[in-house]
Amino acid sequence: MMQSIDLNADLGEGAGFDDQLLELVSSASIATGFHAGDADSIRQAICAARERGVAVGAHPSLFDRESFGRKELAVSADDVFQAVKYQLGIFQAIADAADVRPNHVKPHGALYNMAAREQSIADAIARAVAAVDQELLLFALPDSELARAGTAHGLRVVPEVFADRNYMRDGSLVPRTRPDALLHDPAEAAARIVRMLRAEVIRAVHGSDVHVHGETICVHGDTPGAVTFATELRTELQRAGLTISPPLRHER
């Protein structure tokens, strides 16, 4: 089993748990305004993470504040490229002003799910990240189109697994439209993640094991009980002998 693991949370989304989660996680993916947040919330989240030694990354989305970025929209690859590049530019500028160097990029919600299966969307995101900063890490679902696109564009891809989400038999996430999309028991979620790190398998909702390799574990900051989830998960990971630390960008 690996010696260290990253624990990340999506922050800057107005859920009210950011300060508590920043005491528990090693990476924060901060909303960049298209689904939640604004310049002030980005700055506050970056500064709060800096004070706690938490690595920060941008959490770009489709432009969809009404549905919190979780509704799939009819967008072209060029639309996605321009939207992601724009959001990363804003995030980079605010981070620079706070004397913080961004570490990663993680697409949000529907954009993340679309990029997992649609090559053109995945390629647009990877191109946008590489155009802004080739050294940024790209968080992506393992064995997804986004992971492949990131590698093709020379980015270091960090495979991501989800502590509070259920999985389909093909390794994709159970859609949020289904009642079994979320896990509600922190102890069950923590035990499942520790098993995944040891055996690289996770139990799908259909009852079979799915091969999964993860290097960063997400707890959604807007999920009810997010702090309890992150606390339980951190405790169990440390009990298993793992160090909680972020993957760091490689300077060339």
Domains of the chain from N-terminus onward? 4-244 (3.20.20.370)
Q: Which of 94, 149, 100, 144 is nearest to 124 (CA)?
A: 149
Nearest Cα neighbor of 137 from 115, 153, 124 is: 153
What is the number of other CB atoms lying within 10 angstroms of the CB of residue 150? 27
| CA–CA dist 219, 7 (Å, integer) | 8
Record the pTM. 0.94
Residue pointed to by tokens 């922190």: 186
Is the CB of residue 112 less than 8 Å from the CB of residue 146?
Answer: yes
Express each pLDDT in 142-175 by its tens digit.
Answer: 999 999 999 999 999 999 998 888 898 888 889 8
pLDDT surpassing 90 at residue 109? yes
Cα angle 160, 66, 183 (rounded to 5 degrees) comes to 40
Strand 201-203 vs strand 157-162: parallel, antiparallel, or unpaired? unpaired
Q: What is the mean pLDDT of the chain?
A: 94
- Enter the tokens of residue 176: 């949020």
Instruction: For 68-105, write each residue's pLDDT tens digit.
Output: 999 999 999 999 999 999 999 999 999 999 999 999 99
Predicted local distance difference test score (pLDDT) of residue 175: 87
Contacts of 65 (CB under 8 A, 6+ apart): 34, 35, 36
